[in-house]
């Protein structure tokens, strides 16, 4: 091999080595940037622990899913209600001042001013249970035990004549057997079939109509009635 050929081969090898080195540096820079970006996005907080998720996962659904074990009677709920709730909602759920009314209102939903109480409007009992457990009593939310919530819910049912007798016990086993008076009046959102047909046509986006032409102005057409056609004023 001649001297010139050897020099050319060495130069080629050096070029290849330099290119490889540059590509490695570039890859390292990209990886560092990606790591920094990932760190800035996910570097806060920590995964929630199972017990933490369980503490927040307290919703109760219409089918009873999420109901905690427990029980409470109308009589027990009456005692709790008078101590914790009556100052706002009245002794019989009639509402105090402008605080919400909880009972009555049956048959008023088609009136001009309907009473949307638990008995007249709410379709599912789980909504009452979930709301009481999550948000009541006002100013001291989540202070009630599960048995307290069952008892209060039973008392609300009694207020609205949905269950009878102070000894009625509401519990996690008979909860879903309670049917609310207005449950059948709710239905699934039907706008896909009832309303969407009105918007199926492609909207006009260009040259939809000729430009409007101004044919007169209020000051020139004199819209104010004159003495001949206007009402007589004494």
**Residue 115 lies inside a defined structural domain of this protein:** yes
Residue 120's domain is classified under what CATH number? 1.10.760.10
Q: How many domains does the chain have?
A: 1
**Residue 26 lies inside a defined structural domain of this protein:** no
Structural domain for 166, as ranges:
69-177
Distance CA 78, CA 85 (A): 10
- Helix, strand, or coil (residue 212): coil
**Residue 50 lies inside a defined structural domain of this protein:** no
**Residue 135 lies inside a defined structural domain of this protein:** yes
Q: Tens digit of pLDDT per residue, the chain (234 long)?
A: 555 555 555 555 545 555 555 666 676 777 667 666 655 567 788 889 999 998 888 899 999 999 999 999 999 999 999 999 999 999 999 999 989 999 999 999 999 889 999 999 999 999 999 999 999 999 999 999 999 999 999 999 999 999 999 999 999 999 999 999 999 999 888 888 877 777 777 778 888 888 888 777 666 666 666 666 666 655
What pTM, to 2 d.p., does this model score? 0.64
**Residue 43 lies inside a defined structural domain of this protein:** no
Distance CA 56, CA 142 (A): 11
**Residue 40 lies inside a defined structural domain of this protein:** no
């Amino acid at each position: 091999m001649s001297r010139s050929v050897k020099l050319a081969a060495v130069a080629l090898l050096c070029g290849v080595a330099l290119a490889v080195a540059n590509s490695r540096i570039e890859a390292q820079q990209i990886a560092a940037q990606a790591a920094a970006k990932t760190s800035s996005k996910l570097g806060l907080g920590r995964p929630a622990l199972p017990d933490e998720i369980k503490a927040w996962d307290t919703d109760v659904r219409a089918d009873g899913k999420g109901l905690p074990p427990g029980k409470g009677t109308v009589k027990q709920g009456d005692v709790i209600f008078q101590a914790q709730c009556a100052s706002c909602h009245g002794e019989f759920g009639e509402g105090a001042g402008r605080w919400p009314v909880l009972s009555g209102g049956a048959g008023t939903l088609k009136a001009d001013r309907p009473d949307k109480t638990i008995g007249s409007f709410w379709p599912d009992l789980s909504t009452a249970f979930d709301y009481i457990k999550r948000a009541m009593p006002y100013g001291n939310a989540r202070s009630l035990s599960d048995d307290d919530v069952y008892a209060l819910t039973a008392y609300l049912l009694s207020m609205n004549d949905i269950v009878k007798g102070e000894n009625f016990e509401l519990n996690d086993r008979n909860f879903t057997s309670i049917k609310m008076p207005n449950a059948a009046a709710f239905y699934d959102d039907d706008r896909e079939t009832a309303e969407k047909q009105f918007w199926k046509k492609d909207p006009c986006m260009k040259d939809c109509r000729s430009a409007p032409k101004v044919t007169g102005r209020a000051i020139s057409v004199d819209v104010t009635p004159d003495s001949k056609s206007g009402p007589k004023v004494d």
